[in-house]
Amino acid sequence: MGTILKGGTVIELEPACAEVVDLRVEGGYIVERGAGLVPQPGDEVLDFSRKWVMPGLVCAHHHLYSTLARGMPPPTERPQDFQQVLERVWWKLDQALDLDLVQVSATLGALDALACGTTTVFDHHASPKAIAGSLVRVARGVNDVGLRGVLCYEVTDRLGAVGREDGLAETVSFQKKARGRFRGMVGAHASFTLSREALDGLRHACEGTGTGLHIHLVEDPVDERLSRERYDEAPVARLAEAGLLTPKSVVAHVVHLSWPELSQVIASGAWLVHNPRSNMNNQVGYAPAGKFGARAMLGTDGIGADMFSEAQIAHFRALEAGQPIDVLKYLTNGQRLATEAFGEPVGPMRPGACADLVVLDYKSPTPVSAGNLAGHFLYGLSARHVESVMVDGMWRLWNRRALSADADVVAEQARQSSQVLWARLAEAA
């Protein structure tokens, strides 16, 4: 028994394609594509005429644990630089998390992602006072909503060797458990928080699990300055010498690198994630995304999971910087990364690909074609057009209503949980 999506304008991002055609989904995969598909006995037939059907979007770098920070009271002492932003805001927040807060935050963040047509999230988690079991709790939150997740724990030395080893154990343990719609990576905080022992541990974890490193790389000049002060080397050199820059690596931000260093990262084959809204919010400078090479992607770094908004901001900020980028390629690269992580095609709207689909109620006021598809993404489409979302062949959002989780119940849980979290932050101030 399958589902036929009839009459929609089927969209693919790279190479760009816009074609009125039917799709048949069965067993979690697209199994047929063509005009006038004939239903088989028991098939459900859905008419999507005058609507768009596109692949689910991928957020290549997210922090679901930050979802409950929305509207959070500012620190008593205003941060004067990025190091103080970390110390007075984000490091206090993650240390105030317990496992219940981690799960509620993940559920709420996943619901937000679903409503925006994001079907896969690469999450970079931290809860230093509640490490063991934290990734399972993130996965439960994401699973309750029905998304795909590629999760890692943020290994760091900032709270000592015990915290570092617990983080390594958690990220490796989760990879052994991950299956179905979940996979794992090896996570790490910025280089200046990683000792030589941490880098060795990360390398062994990557080798032992066969996965890559997911790390913040020179988001701010403080990463290089403190890396040199503490370890006598710049971040890129440290990662390269440790064997941590590989085609399986995901490096986020990449704002402050010299051209030779950026060339070295690109030559390693690593994936580079551009997070323009976060960079602007933290005032860390502009990442030269136009020079990121063929494996550049987009992430949100915890500012929701609206990849439509991220793509638009990335486009306009790149134009302003005189470094235009191809946002459709960036979005497609996120799907390519997901394809590598899951070992199955994620993104193509073709037979054999995973059925991660988004239905858009976008009644285009102007013609659409492969040649002008980017224009519709940049100047017309937004998350408000997301009507229904399918993940792994199952409808998870239908007519703008989440089917796997009660949005009102989750919102109430989040309101109560945020009060607990914010009270802890006030006590720690």
Q: Which domains does the chain have, with CATH numbers?
A: 3-55+348-398 (2.30.40.10), 57-341 (3.20.20.140)
* Bridge partner residues of 150 (DSSP): 122, 183
pLDDT the model gives residue 79: 87
Amino acid symbol at 367: P
Token pair for 20: 């009125």
Could you say which DSSP state residue 303 is in? S
Instruction: List, in order, residues 6 or more apart from 260 with CB less than 8 Å away.
Output: none
Q: Which of 1, 41, 12, 37 has the alpha carbon at shortest distance from 22?
A: 37
pLDDT the model gives residue 290: 95
Q: Which of 159, 172, 59 has the alpha carbon at shortest distance from 110?
A: 59
User: What is the C-alpha separation between 126 and 244, in angstroms, rounded?
Assistant: 20
Amino acid symbol at 236: V
Instruction: List, in order, residues 6 or more apart from 139 with CB less than 8 Å away.
Output: 106, 149, 151, 174, 178, 182
Q: pLDDT tens per residue, the chain (429 residues)?
A: 899 999 999 999 999 999 999 999 999 999 999 999 999 999 999 999 999 999 999 999 999 999 999 999 988 888 889 999 999 999 999 999 999 999 999 999 999 999 999 999 999 999 999 999 999 999 999 999 999 999 999 999 999 999 999 999 999 999 999 999 999 999 999 999 999 999 999 999 999 999 999 999 999 999 999 999 999 999 999 999 999 999 999 999 999 999 999 999 999 999 999 999 999 999 999 999 999 999 999 999 999 999 999 999 999 999 999 999 999 999 999 999 999 999 999 999 999 999 999 999 999 999 999 999 999 999 999 999 999 999 999 999 999 999 999 999 999 999 999 999 999 999 887
- Interstrand relation of 271-274 and 296-298 (parallel, antiparallel or unpaired): parallel
User: What is the C-alpha separation between 17 and 185, in angstroms, rounded?
Assistant: 32
Q: What is the DSSP string of 139-162?
A: HHHHHHHT-EEEEEEEE-STT-HH
Token pair for 118: 């994001």
Amino acid symbol at 289: A
User: What is the C-alpha separation between 285 and 307, in angstroms, rounded?
Assistant: 21
pLDDT the model gives residue 421: 96
User: What is the C-alpha separation between 64 and 61, in angstroms, rounded?
Assistant: 10
Q: Where are the beta strands (DSSP E) in 100-220?
A: 118-125, 148-155, 182-184, 186-188, 213-217
Angle at CA of residue 9, ends 8 and 12, nearest 5°? 125
pLDDT the model gives residue 15: 94
Verdict on whether the full-model pTM lies above 0.95: yes
Could you say which DSSP state residue 73 is in? P
Instruction: List, in order, residues 6 or more apart from 304 with CB less than 8 Å away.
Output: 109, 112, 113, 116
Phi and psi angles of residue 314, each rounded to the nearest 5 degrees, phi first: -60, -45
